Structure 1
Amino acid sequence: MSPNFDLHEESVIIGGRAASVRWRRSQRARRVALKIDPQGGEIVITLPPRGSRRAGLALLRGYEDWVAAKLAALPAPMRLADGEMIPVCGTPRTIIHDPVMRGGTVIAASIIRVTGQKEFLARRVRDALREFAHERFSQRAHETAAKIGVRPRRVRVKDTTSRWGSCAPDGTLMFSWRLIMAPDFVQDYVIAHEVAHLRYLNHGSAFWDLTNRLTPYRAAATSWLSTHGPGLLRIS
């Protein structure tokens, strides 16, 4: 059995508005934890093995103002649909459904042209962006790693909500496919950050010194992700 599993979802009133709460039970949790899931726009309360719903609600009410402010600050969700505009490498592209075109999804300078039936459009766009992200991030990660004489075991892309990238102990680098929508300088920083972990699997001073040598964009990129990252998580 997974150490984490959902219990149920329910609606509560937060700051005078209805909000969704997803309850989770974790065998590893030592205390009740509260977070906002920006992708789903919901509250997630994690309970330890013996934690009670009452304790979870008490924590939620204790931080009600903070939760209400975080929910209110979330960008509106955006669907991958015909006519919508989404960024790729920071440049806006308009999604255009072209059912008579052949050759799959094409990411061009100002558009994303999608073939096939309209009900599969969102999935086709996601698949194309994931493929593009894997190709781009893999190439840039290997190029960056070569500068310091290391090599990632492999590069993967996933759909994560808590981190833009990670480095496993075995040298596997993982990046959120949504990072492909961020500007180049943001991608550069996240890739450099994870490549630096191939040398230092910690956040000590040596790690940050190496990261700063690999990229000049640390401050600008972290600021951009703090401001605009939640918006990327709301695109589905």
Structure 2
Amino acid sequence: MAPDTPVSTHILPGDPPVVVRLRRSARAKRFSLRVSRADGRVSLSLPQWACEAEALAFLRDREDWVRRHLRDAPDRKLARIGALVPVCGTPRPVAPGPGRAARFDGGVIHVPPGPREGPRIKALLTALARERLSTSVARHAQTLGRVPGRLTLRDPRSRWGSCSARGDLMFSWRLIMAPPEILDYVAAHEVAHLAEMNHSAAFWSVCHTLCPETDRHRQWLRSHGAELLAWRFDTATNE
């Protein structure tokens, strides 16, 4: 199957104008619009056989939907000195600090001033996330009598975690910004897949056994997950 192929960039006129990326997809059977929760990027997928003019007509018919989602999206925030970056659900001030790496001390994130403040804060949060997730995974796996595989941290945009057929677990490092019980729920969810590699009633039974507040924590992620994705940790520029 051929990979997805970029087609073009279209500007949806208005106030403000909206940039829409059109992409042909070998998997697409119909037109599909998406507004990214992470960066507000608008994309329109279309089947390989589709006419671009029809895709643009589809886009114009759904302009109100696109603009509503853009208005409702949380503002993008920069992780920099002076910001309040959430750690375990609590906003923590970012202040200048010595050395070459960011550190968390006394409820404050200390980071060396400069263009790499964002990446250094990200590295700190990733290390904290690995520590917390490793502990949660080990506890839940012991409860099930299962042995998890390798644990990796990434920055996905459409999921908070995953479990491979080999039992390897992947998590979003951004979970460290959520309240501790949310991080623990996601760990429990993925560990539950070690017993049930599906989302059947049996899976949810295991998940609720590991985390009785599963439903409430899932709702929190639906309501607040976009706020975690809105944080940017890239290198500062002079722009």
Structure-2-length-normalised TM-score: 0.89
Report the residue type matching 1:174 in the other structure: M
Q: Give the one of 166, 171, 182 matched to 1:170.
A: 166
Residue 48 of structure 1 and its aligned partner are, at CA, apart by 2.2
Partner AA of 1:148 in structure 2:
L
Q: Name whichever of 119-128 and 101-110 sits farther off.
A: 101-110
Where do residues 62-211 of structure 1 align in structure 2 (5 Å cutoff)? 62-98=61-97, 101-102=98-99, 104-115=101-112, 117-211=113-207
In structure 2, the residue matched to 1:60 is 59
Percent identity at matched positions?
37
Partner of 1:11 in structure 2? 11
SS of 1:203's equivalent? coil
2-side partners of 1:94 and 1:8: how far apart? Answer: 41
After superposition, the C-alpha distances for 1:95-139 in whole angstroms (9 at most, x for unaligned) are 1122xx126211234211012x51011111111111221222122
Contact preservation (8 Å) 1:188, 1:217: no
Whether the aligned pair in 2 keeps the contact of 1:32 and 1:47 (CA below 8 Å) is yes
**For the residues of structure 2 that align with 1:81 and 1:9, how far apart are their CA atoms?**
31
**1:39-88 CA distances to partner (integer Å, 9 max, x unpaired)?**
12121111222233223223323332222211110111100111000111
Alpha-carbon offset, residue 2 of structure 1: 7.6
SS at match of 2:226: helix
CA contact (8 A) 2:133 2:184 kept: no
Unaligned runs of 5+ in 2: 233-239
What secondary structure is seen at the aligned counterpart in 1 of 2:29? coil
CA contact (8 A) 1:105 1:112 kept: yes
Separation in 2, partners of 1:220, 1:108: 31
How many residue pairs match? The answer is 232
Which one-letter code corresponds to 1:192 in the other structure? A
Cα separation, 1, equivalents of 2:111 and 2:6 = 35
| Separation in structure 1 between the aligned mates of residue 107 and residue 8 of structure 2, nearest angstrom | 42
| In 1, Cα distance between equivalents of 2:42 and 2:100 | 41
Shift of 1:5: 4.4
Q: Which structure 1 residue ranges, 5 or more long, are not aligned?
A: none
Distance 1:11 1:31, change over 3 A: same
Query: TM-score, structure 1 length as denominator?
Result: 0.91
